[in-house]
Chain A
Amino acid sequence: MNFLPLSFGAPMVLWGLLALPVIWWLLRLTPPKPQTETFPPLKILARVLRKEETPHKSPWWLTLLRLLLAALVILALADPVFNPREKIAVEGQALAIVMDNGWNAAPDWERRVATAERLIVDAKESDVPVVLALTAEKPAQDIGPFNADTALERLNAAEPRPVPTDRLSVYARVADALENLPGATLAVLADGLAGDEDEAAFETLLAVQLSDLLWIAPQGLSTVALTDTANEPERFLVKAVRGPDAAAPRQLIAYASDEKGRRIAETTIAFGPGAREAEGEMRVPFELRNDFATVALEGENHAGALRVLDENARRRRIGLLSQNEGDRAQPLLSPLYYIRRALSPFADLIEPSNPALTEAIPELLEQKPAAIIMADVGTLPDSARQSLIEWMENGGTLIRFAGPRVAAAGNDETLLPVRLRVGERSLGGALSWSEPQPVAEFPASGPFSDLTPPRDVAVNRQILAEPSPDIVERTWANLADGTPLVTGAARGDGRVILFHVTPEATWSNLPISGSFVEMLRRIVQLSRNQGSLTSETEDDAGRLAPYRMISASGALVPPGPEAEPLAAGQTPRVSLENPPGLYGSEEGVIAHNLLPADATLQGLARPQAPVATQTLRYAFDTSRPLKGPLMAAALALLALDTLAVLWLGGMMPGRRGRRAATATVAAFTMGLALAAAPDAARAQSPQPQDAEAIAAISATRIAYVVTGVSSVDAVSRAGITGLSRFLADKTALEPGEPAAVDIAADELSFYPLIYWPISTDAPMPTEDAIARIDAYMQEGGTVLFDTRDQYSSGFGSTGSVSPETQRLRDILSGLNVPPLEPVPDDHVLTKAFYILSEFPGRYRGSQLWVEASLNAPTRTDRPVRTGDGVSPIMITGNDLAGAWAIDEQGQPLLPTVPSDPLQRVYALRAGVNIMMYMLTGNYKSDQVHVPVLLERLGQ
């Protein structure tokens, strides 16, 4: 069975296949037993039957089915295994597994573990001790020998590390261990990546007496890793290398993420055919680049595909220094004004708190700025000068602007890029022949070479440099007449740059041009932060705690227990103690990356061994026993056969069978549909009251309580309609249709005001309904109770109580009614829209009761009392709705008592005031201040 990836556990059973022809013969001879029928007209039938060909034998397909069934059973009994794994014979007295778990092993770690597992399982069968050593672990690890089970446990506990392998020391330990186990099988599970001391390591390892060597390495080294990033002025460069065995052109996507892991930029890195190195550039705005925290390769999940970035690639800190920061009232004349405006978007600006240079410069330097800008600072005190020079030698960038002080201060070899002529040159003045000079093309050698020189800039005044041989190469920008505008020179690791004009617009209009921003930005790009800001104590000053580590799978994780602080100022080897990642704290971090900028990935060559060597590949154990599936198939065929026999025997006669089958399928489909149906039903079920709710809130609607007494309800409706029309005529409020609400069932919270005519004919509302009304009032709604009994309740308060009032009392007994009072003269209700002194309806005389504003101070000088909130309850007996009610033609429905047209107008005005009070609250009471405010403004 070499042509199929198939092997058999019991191949002898396959001889049973020889029985198939016999089975075939038997099957052909024994057709299914027919139904016997006496049939007198056999002669006629005989003439028909002659047409059928093999009436006495089973149909061929049934025979085939059964033969297949038999074959399947025989095959299944032979215990077949699909994709059988190679048995790796462990010939030695022991098995030593040396496994690389460096960063390059991470992507296919499972496969490596599976391979090692197979080795150990095979060793278990041979019952030999196992030595298991991992090359990226510490050399002091426990390497055994173990028994196979322990070794398996240790193997499964092992994980790839984001560090390079340390073959030399680990191999030495293995060699030591193998001294006691002569004649062992050595299995080297290499990651394919060459290390520094491989030769010596393998020499040590192979010096031991071995029985044979198993060399297991990946098929070629095609890992891609990032080696360097560079934040250049215009772009962000990402460099990548790949292994020697990847020759095909390849495109990868590298992306940059910010601190929170958000992907903010990406680029394509394209390896040409055979190229080992490639780079990609991200052209994104500088501000965005400052947010880069990591750069990673998409699709590569190992530690080499992620680089962390630290402050050096980030936002620069820039110190600003000036000596005449005098008048803040004239900011446009401040020398630092334009610099601040230009730099603040992409740099952190630091300004000293003390203007004295002796204090200010150390203060600035303490914060380790990338650059210091000195606007027209002349002579520096000696101490400050020395520290400034030192800072500059270490990489600081000093940017100076000319000005009267610089012109007067005289030359300073170190802190000026060129020798200056004392005094300034004025162009285009009254005593000058020359015109104001524009800026010439930027010299190709300078950092501004690719900038477009500003055409609209004219320089009136500058300081001149002494001609010298190196003046040309130090000149970064020229005026049209060839005199330098910007000069720069290197000082140690840093540089000094001089603008020959002032940083404000007095000598030239350069500071107010766009080019000024461009030039400053370019210079800032050139600078580097001089260290990170740390708030650590003196003891730890030199050591940076691990902050965020790169995991083996190329992700940022919190530091593990093995990570140790990084000594500041030096770059130790990447090891388990100093795994790659960010060191420091939130305030500032140092990036410690896996691969140095000049790293290349070299493939690991198989060493020459003095013993028999077998080369294997990493592979999963993909063997799969086929016994179960074959048996299942045989069972399925058996079921089919049963059905076929039933069908042949006429148990499922044609039409009925078909119908039954159809019914079965239909039932099955129905079942599925039913199973799926509830979801659909749920998905479609709308909230039943959605339509009402939408209608209720799409317009402001005034509600009235449906009492159940049709005459009362009709008047209520007509009344609210009349009020609505009046409101629409006179005010900005255009209420919607009156809303009839059933307090027991409808949602009340949509309505600002509910008008409730009390009728004794109506049934007493249930407790639940009263509770709903109570909740409505507590939530800010207002109920206007109208007992409509002004003239039936008798005059005076001592008399008997009308039935409506009694009903109202019953209702209110279930409500949380606040203390009430008749509307006082200075209540907002009296002024909310119209100025009213009473609130008549059809009747006149009943007070309108509202919530008492007890603690509101009554002040005589104010026309209206203050106080927050809106009364949740109003009670009247004047039958307001009766006065408001109009018929379809707009004519009043009911006469007022007494019949006075003006009373109806007042009733409507009362309604308007109530509505305005509902909708605007105590806004009107604040309006009383308007005259005072106007008066004040007039002053």
Chain B
Amino acid sequence: MAGLELKNLSKAYGQVEVLHDINLAIADGEFVVFVGPSGCGKSTLLRMIAGLEKITGGDLLIGGNRSNDLSPRQRNIAMVFQSYALYPQMTVAQNMGFSLSLERRPKAEIAQKVQEAADSLKLGPYLDRKPGQLSGGQRQRVAIGRAIVRSPQVFLLDEPLSNLDAALRSETRVEISELHQRMETTMIYVTHDQVEAMTMADRIVVLNGGYIEQVGSPMELYNHPATEFVAGFIGSPKMNFVKGRFADTVGATTLGVRPEHFAVGKADDSWQGTVTLVERLGHDTILYVKVPDAGVLTVSLNGQHDQNVGDTIYLRPLQEFIHKFNDAGRPIAA
């Protein structure tokens, strides 16, 4: 196990710099999630840590040792790929034991480690099967198993759940979190899904346009976003951003209100709007409300409500939860 340190790390393809001045320290045993929209550089950053992309600026320290020029093999890391990348000609057992066989470990030791990993991932009955004979979820487990048997210093996971269906995704999400708790190994997880980031991470690193926007625990990011971008990216449904007269009244360029931070109010102190769409989720009711001068706002009401499309509704933002941003998209202190 080891911690990582990224010092002024940058990546350029020719003249085009795609990652700029990345500074980040990841503690030993921490579960860190890189999150951001497509093209923000999160996968490139992960691949630089893995040794699959050349580092063009700055330093990468794994366990305190500068690792810029080390091959993936020398970094002692394991990676789970989005596409699983299982060797199709090998059985599950051979896939999982491949790295150990390259190290010329004794066959008995390889078999024992593979069996242990397979048992922990409920893959025991499939050890003699080829990847082509497995379901998507089983393949994903094999990919994780292949990483586990090496007992690496650092686990890297590149959008490992994106090829699974919704039900399997949430199930595997829990399993990965349990795995981390059991192994206590440093894990870096890349995703574009902020729900995955919020539910799994000790700390989240939000990337945008090749820069780190904010690093913090899920609740820090949710409650105290450092930028308008982070405020919009973290939280589901997304935060509402309102400009114009409503923002002016609180002295901000942009007023941010999370959908769950509206109360249905009375006519005198509230924003009047018309319901344009209703999503009934059972535990929550999501309303899309068109408010003059504010646009269409998303409102999440706890429990079941009887509003219908076309109804007039009065919304009151909860003052203690509103976010105020200036011209630069930075928060204005209360």
**Interaction A to B:** no
Q: Which residues of A contact B (CB under 8 A)?
A: none
